[in-house]
Structure 1
Amino acid sequence: MSEDATALVFLARGYEDDHLDRFRRFIRSYASFSTGQPTHLHVIFKGFHTAEHERSARLLFEALPHTAHVMEDVGFDIGAYAAVVGYLNDPYVCFLNSNSEIISENWLRKLISNLRDPAVGMVGATGSCESLNYLHPDFPRFPNPHLRTNAFALRVKDAQRFLDGIYIREKIDAWRFESGPDSLTRRVFSAALTCLVVGRDGRGYGPSAWIDSETFRQGLQSNLLVGDNVTRAYFDMSPSERDRIVFKTWGGFVHPRLFASTL
C-alpha cells in the first residue's frame, strides 16, 4: 500500500429526482481530471425510492473500478461517512457528496499533500465563517470558521475518532456537525490540529487566510478545487444577492485576530 493512498468516498444518494444527473456530473469530472495519486474509489448508494432507481445508478458507475456500499437512508451525508470509515484500509480518506464536481487536475494530490503536515488535521475545498445562530442560539456566533463538508479529507485514523459517536437524525443535526459548537472542525481544533482550505493552486490556507483564498463565495471563485451546487449557485446570483451572501459568509471584514481562539 502506498503511504499516500487515499480512499475516495462518493455519496450517491438517490433521493432527489435529478440524482442521475448529479452522479453523471461527478463521473464526468472524475474521468476528466487525474487524482494525481493512488486512489481507491468507494461509492455509497443510499436513499433510492425503488430498486430500479438503484440499479440505474449502479449501472452508471460500472465503468469505474470501485467498492460499493449499500446503506439505509438515515444519518444524512455525515452518518453515511461515519458508517463506512471503519471499512477503509488506506491511510487517508476524502469524502465527496452527491453534488461534487472536480474542476482541477491532480486535485486529490493537492489535498493530501497538505494533509501530510502533522499539524494539519483536516483539509477541504471550501471553508466559511457563516453562523447559523439565527436558526438556533447554540450555534456559535459569527465569525464561525468551519470547513464545509461537501469535499474534505482526513487521515483515516482521525476520521474514525472525529466521526465517532455522532448521531444525525434531522437536518439541523447535520448542520450542527458541520458548523455547530461541537462541529467536525472544532473537534479538529480541540485536538490541537488546524484545518486548511486547499485551492486549485495547491496551497493550503489556514483559517485566517480563508477569506483570501478565492475559493468559496469570493470573486470568481477562481481558485476552487472541487465545486458543488452551492458554489455553482453563486454564479447565478444577481449582484445584490451575491453581496448579501458574501456578507453572510465573510462579514464586512474579518481580521485575523478574531480567529485567535480557534487556532
Structure 2
Amino acid sequence: MSDEGFDITAYKMAAEALPHDYLCFLNTFSEIESDGWLRKLHDHASWADIGIARATASLESVRESMKSMSKAVWLCVQGIPYDPLIVERWGHEILRFAPHWLARRPPSLYRRARRPAGRVLALKLFALRPPSRQEVEDHFEIVCAKRGAIYAKLPSFPNPHIRTNAFMMRRPVFLEVLPPTLGTKEDCLEFESGHTSMTNSIVQRGLHAVVVGDDARAYHSSEWSSSKTFRSGAQENILVSDNRTRAFETMLPAGKKLYEHWTWHGSDNPA
C-alpha cells in the first residue's frame, strides 16, 4: 500500500480493500499499553448502539488552542524577554519552533520559525522600538488571519471528537462517514475535529462514540475528562499511546495543566 497522503487516506484505502466486518486503525506513532487491548475495543465496538470505540478522545477546539500556541511561539520569535513562566507553559512547543529563544540568543532583525502547520516563515521583528501590547495584539491578528485559515473554520470549545488513531468500528459505517475528498490537511482536520467530523457523523446516525480504557470500561463523552486516558490524570488508563500522549508526559507541570485545560475545559488560563 502506498505511503502517500495522510493517515485517513491510508485508512480509506484499507477499508475499501478489506472485507472484514470490523476494522481497527493505528498509525506509526502507536504503542500498545494494555494487554488485551484489541479485545477490549471489540467488546464495545460490537454493541449495536456503539458507532466507534477509541483509545483517546478530546473536547478541544483545535482552532482556539493552535491560535494560542502559535501566539506564544510567535512572540518568542519576535524576541520578547526571556520569561521562566513562558518556558513552564510553552517550553515543549518553543523547543520545536523557536529553540533560539530558549537559548536566550540575542534577537536578530529576522528570524525563521516553523509554523505549527509545518511550514517555514520569515517573521520580521518590530523595528527600532518595543511595540505596545495593543500593537502586538493587532499585528498577531493580521498574521493569524493570513496564516491560520487551516484552523479558522474548526468548531469552538467544547468540540467532542474521537482522535483518529487506535479506533475500531464497523467497516460499513466507516465507509459511510468518509468525506468525498481527503487530499489536504484541511480535509483531514475537518474529518477528525471539524463540524462534519467522523464523530459528529456517527452521532447523527444515532450511535455513540466511546473511549475504552485499560480497565475495559467504555466512557461516553461526558466521562472522557475523568477517564485517565488522553491528557487526563497520569494517562494511566490508556490502551494505546501515541506521539501526542507521550509529548504530554514530558511537559512541565504548568504545560500539562495548560494542555489539560485546553482539552477538557477550553481555558487558556488554568487557575
TM-score range relative to shorter protein: 0.5 to 0.7
Of residues 35, 48, 58, the one that matches 1:128 is 58
- The size of the alignment, in residue pairs, is 182
| CA apart distance, 1:252 | 6.7
Name 1:71's counterpart in structure 2. Answer: 2
Matched, 1:226 2:157: no
State the distance in 2 between where 1:190 and 1:100 align: 29
Name 1:116's counterpart in structure 2. Answer: 46
Name 1:153's counterpart in structure 2. Answer: 168
Kindly indicate which of the two structures has a greater share of residues assigned to strand: 1
Q: Which runs of 5+ in 2 are unaligned?
A: 65-147
Amino acid in structure 2 at the alignment position of 1:151 = A
State the distance in 2 between where 1:245 and 1:72 align: 31
Of residues 86, 90, 99, the one that matches 2:16 is 86
Kindly indicate which of the two structures has a greater share of residues assigned to helix: 2
State the distance in 2 between where 1:77 and 1:252 align: 26
Name 1:107's counterpart in structure 2. Answer: 37
Once the two structures are superposed, residues 98-129 of structure 1 have per-residue CA deviations (whole angstroms, 9 ceiling, x without a partner) of 10001111100000101121111001000000
Q: Alignment partner of 2:8: what SS?
A: helix
Aligned pairs for 1:1-263 (under 5 A) are 70-71=1-2, 73-74=4-5, 76-134=6-64, 135=148, 136-163=151-178, 165-251=179-265
Once the two structures are superposed, residues 212-247 of structure 1 have per-residue CA deviations (whole angstroms, 9 ceiling, x without a partner) of 100010111010000001111111000111111111
State the distance in 1 between where 2:262 and 2:182 align: 25
Once the two structures are superposed, residues 33-62 of structure 1 have per-residue CA deviations (whole angstroms, 9 ceiling, x without a partner) of xxxxxxxxxxxxxxxxxxxxxxxxxxxxxx
Q: Alignment partner of 1:182: what SS?
A: coil
Amino acid in structure 2 at the alignment position of 1:148 = R
| CA apart distance, 1:176 | 1.2
Larger C-alpha radius of gyration, 1 or 2? 2
Q: Aligned in 2, Cα 1:224/1:72: closer, same or farther, shift over 3 Å?
A: closer
Q: Structure 1-normalised TM-score?
A: 0.66
Structure 1 outlier segments of 4+, above 4 Å: none
Contact 1:121 1:188 in 2 (8 A): yes
| CA apart distance, 1:168 | 2.0
* Identity %, equivalent residues: 41
Contact 1:123 1:195 in 2 (8 A): yes
| CA apart distance, 1:140 | 1.3
Amino acid in structure 2 at the alignment position of 1:196 = V
State the distance in 1 between where 2:215 and 2:16 align: 32
Once the two structures are superposed, residues 65-112 of structure 1 have per-residue CA deviations (whole angstroms, 9 ceiling, x without a partner) of xxxxx22512x1101111221221221100001100011111000001
| CA apart distance, 1:169 | 2.4
Contact 1:93 1:154 in 2 (8 A): yes
Contact 2:157 2:266 in 1 (8 A): no
Q: Alignment partner of 1:121: what SS?
A: strand
State the distance in 2 between where 1:219 and 1:207 align: 16
State the distance in 2 between where 1:78 and 1:166 align: 12
Q: Which runs of 5+ in 1 are unaligned?
A: 1-69, 254-263
State the distance in 2 between where 1:121 and 1:166 align: 20
Q: Alignment partner of 2:238: what SS?
A: coil
Q: Structure 2-normalised TM-score?
A: 0.64
CA RMSD between the two structures: 1.5
| CA apart distance, 1:185 | 0.5
Name 1:25's counterpart in structure 2. Answer: none
Q: Aligned in 2, Cα 1:152/1:236: closer, same or farther, shift over 3 Å?
A: same
Once the two structures are superposed, residues 172-200 of structure 1 have per-residue CA deviations (whole angstroms, 9 ceiling, x without a partner) of 32111100011111110111111000000
Contact 1:79 1:167 in 2 (8 A): no
